[in-house]
Amino acid sequence: MAEYQFRATEKKWQAFWEKNQTFSASDDFEKPKYYTLDMFPYPSGAGLHVGHPLGYIASDIVARFKKQQGFNVLHPMGFDSFGLPAEQYAIQTGQHPAITTSENITRYIEQLKNIGFAYDWKREVRTSDPSFYKWTQWIFMQLFNSWYDYHDNKARSISVLTEHFEKTGNQLIKAACDEDTPDFTATDWLHFTEEEKQKILLKYRIAYLSEAVVNWCPAMGTVLSNDEVKDGFSERGGHPVERKKMMQWSMRITAYANRLLEGLNKLDWPEPVKEMQRNWIGKSVGAELDFEVVKNSFDPSLDPSPKEREMPGYMTGDQEIWEALKRFSRENRKDPTEEEDIFWQAVRNKKTGYKFRRQHPIGNYIADFVCLDRKLVIELDGEEHKINKEYDQLRTDYLNSCGFKVLRFWNAEIKKNISHVLDKVIEELRTSPSLSERGAGGEVFTDKNPSLDPSPKERKANDLKIKVFTTRVDTIYGVTFMVLAPEHELVKEITTSEQKEAVEEYVKIAKNRSERERMTEVKRVSGVFTGAYAIHPFSGEKIQVWIGDYVLAGYGTGAVMAVPSDDERDLAFAEHFGLPVKQVVEDGKIINSDFLSGLPIKEAIAKAIEYVEEKGIGKAKVNFRMRDAIFSRQRYWGEPVPVYYKNGIPYLLNEDQLPLELPEVDKYLPTEDGEPPLARAKTWKTEEGYELEKSTMPGWAGSSWYMFRYMDPHNNEEFVAPEKQEYWKNVDLYIGGSEHATGHLLYSRFWTMFLYDMGYLNVDEPFQKMINQGMIQGRSNFIYRVEGKNTYVSKNLKDQYTTQAIHVDVNIVYNDELDIEKFRRWRSENADAEFILEDGKYVCGAEVEKMSKSKHNVVNPDDVIEQYGADTLRLYEMFLGPLEQFKPWNTNGIDGTSKFLKKLWRLFHNEKGDFSLSDEKADKKALKALHLAIQKVEYDIEHFSFNTSVSTFMICVNTLTELKCNNREILTDLMRVIAPYAPHICEELWQLAGNSGSISDAGWPKFNPEFIKENEFTYPVSVNGKHRDNMTFSFDTPKEEIEKAVLENPKIQKWIEDKPVKKFIFVPNKIVNVVV
């Protein structure tokens, strides 16, 4: 019998498809379209391994299925061909990266064609091709020429912005711009020089030049991305990496933060990927507050000695914060608690014979009540004192150190028996000496004393403000200190001379601390007191300002208001340095917080923000974690940036000068002065002699828009013709790994939104639906060498020897059994190796690892195809399990799919091996088997459950084999169903059956439910939920009859015994359950 000749047949059909352009997408705008896209591959020198095609096979199945269903299918492939490996290879060998890249691509295409993908190869693109990167440069120019308008929430042309500037300056405009953008009026603008204007505009452009902190690798002379840096060293080469400020092109992606976030809701993407993007964008809603700084509060050069200052002369309130304290005491007085009011009524107007003041500032605290003459403070405590004992003790200690005695009463005592409390107070007053008796100055402190107003100098000090961002304003009363990042700009200004040395030392260490150290010492608390104090904007208390490197300069404002009771890191810091902790949240409610007390967290946040805005302390603010994306690379093998410099100001080239092609250079290394490789090109200047930009674009530039280029890949006038883009819109199905979640998938959304804003696209998202594929891991095999000998022992005997496990090439191992002959030939030293076998076999050990050359576990699809054929590989990769699951590659089961194809082939042939089909009317059972398969496969493809389709094919073929079915109608329909998965064999059988043309044009068989209709159903019958028997009934059997039959069934009766039947559960076409 004629065996299926897969090698010849597969080559034949691959040639047929190419010759007939079977899979070229037409620009027939009348047809419904379907655009399915694979992740853009980087053509590496290692070629494809079996893990790569997993997603490609899945999308190929969808593409072929959709084509058979009558869609105009766009299924292209191309190459993300700029990139580091080729450049690295060029540095090592001097070979031009264009040559290496082109060779690698040739190999990739060959491998891809071997698998029989239905790509429209006419549309292939390569990002390193000038005809492609011309448009990458063009898009860069549009980004440079645009700014982001927050008012209309879209990008606009820069000319609109300059018009605004001419009319109104930059004050009325809501635009995305650099933090340090100065305010200017229209008149200012008109008086700016051209250069000044350009500098200002750079602060608004979406593609802009600015100083950025980057990972600089001096050894490689280049900047590395975060994921190229591992523990402070370059991933490649392991050179040390330092943080360095450099002029870099950046993309103002932060302007799109909110839209990138909101847009996720309408995308059909895997939830984990969306979640990753949400986390990356990191939106937090909160408030920005200003904390006034008490400058040099402890600085002896400005102040009397701390001792003197704390001495309770005529002045008890801390001078520098007097204004603020005064404000707060007044505020507090307006709104006393019930108990405070009872007490005040009892002591006011010298009722006790002593003058009392309430809510009076002492040092940096406000005492509830104070008798200044007798130096007695009365504090009333509520329940919160129990929680805040520590904090209150600190306060008491401070007051004691100022010479005050502190008496505490419970609120409950006041209410219950005020006269008893008064007795105690009077007793205390009588026994303590008066102020005059103590001999300190006799002046009496009053609110009106003009000498207490802060001096102009001090007032200036108060202008220093520390801005903080918080998502939890509700915990404001729990703020007991502040921490600034060591790099914070105010650190120098506020540090007192006493603390100067310690602070400078700390800043120096923190700055030199590599990322690596910071990572490994996460749990170590470190910090230094600046000596400065800030004023709590709500309570008016003085709190210490510290610096600590757990506060990140790059996030928020680089400063935090520390709430140790509610934040772990703040707590660790407070505990380490003995700073106070004040409880403010209990059981989801705010406590101990003045007017916020008693409110649930959410309401407290709202109320606190309201208060903050009303008092002008701060404002509600939305913060994003995402940073602008650095766009420059100090590399050779990337798109040149179409910019030249005049007096240090960047200007765009003219559009007709595009593409700006990569120059030839003598070496692909940075210059001796650390300039990027492009500086080596002597011609790297404009015609007028201006210097061209020397950095190139990053890998993600080309991949951020390539999906649109496939719609119109050869257009020299536009990046895509509008009518073509309008038809193809965006990608209907993108299959790829989730590892691109926060890179490629975010940047391409950003560019698409931008191009949409500017009217170049009619969609604002590039990928409507995406599904993730799991990675295929390697499965390594091990052999065990007896120590010191050239003898290898089989796995299950190895414990009897001292052995060493060695990776062995998985390609010479079959079902974990080593092919000894091949092993002897694998390496010369193996030729005379000896083996200790078990049951005549050498059994290898196995382990799941990354697929890599060094582990000898790389499986090349070409080898699998050589042995089994492309159809088998395609089926097997799908059969392996759900697409999105991570799984090791293991050829153990591949025989099953291979056998299946042979079985399929045999269906079309008689015993003699001749092709033979019958034209008789189709058998009912065969029709049912076929239509069950049609229904299931349709469902599976639409739900991306490819593994179950393969099972379905097997079941169908098994059934048809059993039925000895060789019916033409049935079998040719079956071919149309299997064709998307195993196209070569199906084309061949389709042709042998007398059809012409490609089966991909033969349509999809229509599912007919009539054929799978049953008229009876076999019920599983259970007693108390336990399956006991099966009984078959026709569909129209009434429930009563079934119940009767079931209860009469002796097998069932046996289980019912004599127990009464409590309930009879009957679910039509599902189950029968008798409850006894």
Partner RNA sequence: GCCGGGAUGGUGAAAUUGGUAGACACGCAAGACUUAAAAUCUUGUGAGGGCAACCUCGUGCGGGUUCAAGUCCCGCUCCUGGCACCA
CB of 898 to RNA, least distance (A): 7
3-state secondary structure of 715: coil
Interface with RNA, residue 1024, by CB under 7 A: yes
Interface with RNA, residue 556, by CB under 7 A: yes
In whole angstroms, give the CA distance from residue 935 to residue 960.
17
DSSP codes of every residue in 46-77: T---TTTHHHHHHHHHHHHHHHHTT-EEE---
Question: Which of residues 70 and 1020 has its CB atom nearest to RNA in the complex?
Answer: 1020
Residues 136 and 127: beta-carbon distance below 8 Å: yes
CB of 520 to RNA, least distance (A): 10
- Enumerate residues 561-590 that contact RNA by CB under 7 A: 561, 563, 567, 569
Question: Which of residues 788 and 1050 has its CB atom nearest to RNA in the complex?
Answer: 1050
CB of 1075 to RNA, least distance (A): 5
Question: Which of residues 558 and 676 has its CB atom nearest to RNA in the complex?
Answer: 558
Task: Give the pairing of strands 229-230 and 357-362.
Answer: unpaired
| 921 is an annotated ligand-binding site residue | no
In whole angstroms, give the CA distance from residue 347 to residue 921.
111
Interface with RNA, residue 1025, by CB under 7 A: yes
- Enumerate residues 497-536 that contact RNA by CB under 7 A: 518-519, 521-522
User: What is Dmax (Cα atoms) for the chain?
Assistant: 128
Q: At what angle do helices 983-992 and 6-20 cross, to 10 degrees?
A: 90
- Judged by CB under 7 A, the residue of 207, 535, 741, 927 near RNA is 741
CB of 946 to RNA, least distance (A): 10
Question: Which of residues 15 and 1075 has its CB atom nearest to RNA in the complex?
Answer: 1075
In whole angstroms, give the CA distance from residue 659 to residue 569.
52
User: CA dihedral in degrees (210, 211, 213, 216; nearest 10)?
Assistant: 100
CA 337 to the chain's CA centroid: 49
Question: Which of residues 900 and 1007 has its CB atom nearest to RNA in the complex?
Answer: 900
- Enumerate residues 892-911 that contact RNA by CB under 7 A: 892-893, 895-897, 899-900, 902-903
Residue 47 zone, left/alpha/beta (φ > 0; ψ -120 to 50; rest): left
Residues 1023 and 104: beta-carbon distance below 8 Å: no
Q: Which of 776, 961, 992 is nearest to 873 (CA)?
A: 776
In the numeric block, which tokens belong to residue 698?
A: 């990053």
- Judged by CB under 7 A, the residue of 703, 704, 794, 1073 near RNA is 1073
Question: Which of residues 557 and 972 has its CB atom nearest to RNA in the complex?
Answer: 557
- Enumerate residues 37-56 that contact RNA by CB under 7 A: none
- Judged by CB under 7 A, the residue of 396, 882, 923, 993 near RNA is 882
- Enumerate residues 591-630 that contact RNA by CB under 7 A: 625
Q: Which of 668, 632, 623 is nearest to 650 (CA)?
A: 632
- Judged by CB under 7 A, the residue of 945, 1037, 1049, 1053 near RNA is 945
DSSP codes of every residue in 769-831: BEEE-PPEEEEEEEEEEETTSSEEE-GGGGGGS-EEEEEE-GGGEETTEE-HHHHHHHSGGGT
- Judged by CB under 7 A, the residue of 57, 325, 485, 507 near RNA is 485
Stretch of 447-455, 493-501, 885-893, 965-973 contacting RNA, by CB under 7 A: 885-893
Q: In what order do the strands lie in the sheet with 649-652?
A: 649-652, 643-646, 691-692
Question: Which of residues 435 and 776 has its CB atom nearest to RNA in the complex?
Answer: 776
Interface with RNA, residue 738, by CB under 7 A: yes
Per-residue binding letters, 203-242, with RNA (x by CB under 7 A): ------------------------x---------------
Residues 765 and 748: beta-carbon distance below 8 Å: no
DSSP codes of every residue in 722-788: HHHHHHH-SBSEEEE-GGGTTTHHHHHHHHHHHHHHTTS-S-S-SBSBEEE-PPEEEEEEEEEEETT
Per-residue binding letters, 257-296, with RNA (x by CB under 7 A): --------------xx--xx--xx-x-x-x----------
CB of 987 to RNA, least distance (A): 22
- Judged by CB under 7 A, the residue of 912, 1026, 1034, 1048 near RNA is 1026
Q: In what order do the strands lie in the sheet with 405-410?
A: 357-362, 365-371, 376-381, 405-410
CB of 748 to RNA, least distance (A): 17
Indicate the DSSP class of residue 843.
B
- Enumerate residues 450-479 that contact RNA by CB under 7 A: 468-472
3-state secondary structure of 1058: coil
Question: Which of residues 281 and 414 has its CB atom nearest to RNA in the complex?
Answer: 281
- CB burial readout 807-823, b (16+ within 10 A) else e: ebbbbbbeebebebeeb
Interface with RNA, residue 104, by CB under 7 A: no
- Enumerate residues 842-881 that contact RNA by CB under 7 A: 879-881
With residue 482 as reference, give the H or E element that holds it. Answer: strand 481-484
With residue 250 as reference, give the H or E element that holds it. Answer: strand 242-251
Question: Which of residues 720 and 1072 has its CB atom nearest to RNA in the complex?
Answer: 1072
- Judged by CB under 7 A, the residue of 555, 651, 690, 915 near RNA is 555
Q: Please count the residues of this chain forming the interface with RNA, following the rule CB under 7 A.
A: 84
CB of 372 to RNA, least distance (A): 38
Stretch of 33-41, 49-57, 442-450, 889-897 contacting RNA, by CB under 7 A: 889-897
Q: Which of 395, 411, 386, 382 is nearest to 598 (CA)?
A: 382
Stretch of 185-193, 213-221, 724-732, 886-894 contacting RNA, by CB under 7 A: 886-894
Per-residue binding letters, 994-1023, with RNA (x by CB under 7 A): ------------------------x-x-x-
Cite the annotated binding site by residue number.
853
Cite the annotated binding site for ATP by residue number.
853
